[in-house]
Copies of this chain bind each other. A is one copy, B any other.
Amino acid sequence: MGGIHGDKYEAILDAAYTVFGTKGFYESKISEIAEQAGVAKGTVYLYFKSKEQLFTAVTRRDCEQYLAEMQGALANRALEEGLLRMANLHLHYYYKRKQHTKLFFMTPNSDPDLMEFMRGFIQDYTDMVKNKLALEGVRQPELHAKAFIGMMERLKMDILLDKDFREYDVDQTAEFAANLFMHGCKAGSGIRRL
């Protein structure tokens, strides 16, 4: 046995992560996920009630890993250093997921569980940053948190979509973001290319 759910559960989830991530929810077929997982189509339905719930489970697992990785980034650090670490984690996380971009764009409409979960996830992520900012005396910490995350999201896009993006570019982008957020656009950092 693998996890608490068993090997097949994990295999299906992994396969779904790959297929959904590659094609998006609507263009993915359960049969393909099953095949990729090495199980029969019916087996998928032993573990997940529907295609929507499978997608939700994939998303949930991914977001939870994400938040877990973020947890330590801000603790016990000066603000700028914490933000820099966070920016690094954020961008590297997606850099590793370059092959799964569709997971983040093509989500189903209908499933209320998923909508609810996503709302919660975004809130949790925002709160994490907001609390740190508040602690450091930044005013309007929630708005600032959202703006910071928004910057990261946009910079992440380049990473996802640009074939030529290299890992060291990620570090420089993170440094740029933290610096801009702290000091504004006039305080040019020492980044040379990009």
Binary CB contact string for chain A from 115 to 156 against chain B (1 if under 8 A, 0 otherwise): 000010000000000000100001110111011111111110
In the complex, the count of this chain's copies comes to 4
Contact across chains for B138 and A180 when beta carbons are under 8 A apart: no
Is A3 at the interface (CB under 8 A from chain B)? no
Cβ–Cβ contact A143 & B109, under 8 A: no
Q: Of B107, B149, B155, B187, which contacts A146 at CB under 8 A?
A: B155
Once the chains bind, are A182 and B185 in contact (CB under 8 Å)?
A: yes
CB-CB under 8 A for A147 and B138, given A180-B184, A181-B184, A185-B181: no
Q: Which residue of B lies closest to A183 (CB)?
A: B184
Tell me the A residues contacting B by CB distance below 8 Å: 23-24, 26-27, 102, 105-110, 119, 133, 138-140, 142-144, 146-155, 157-158, 161, 173, 176-177, 180-189, 191, 194
**Given A106-B109, A181-B185, A183-B183, 9 other A-B residues pairs in contact with their CB atoms under 8 A:** A138-B188, A143-B173, A146-B155, A146-B157, A147-B154, A149-B154, A150-B151, A153-B153, A184-B187
The 3 tightest CB contacts between A and B, nearest first, are A150-B154, A184-B184, A139-B188
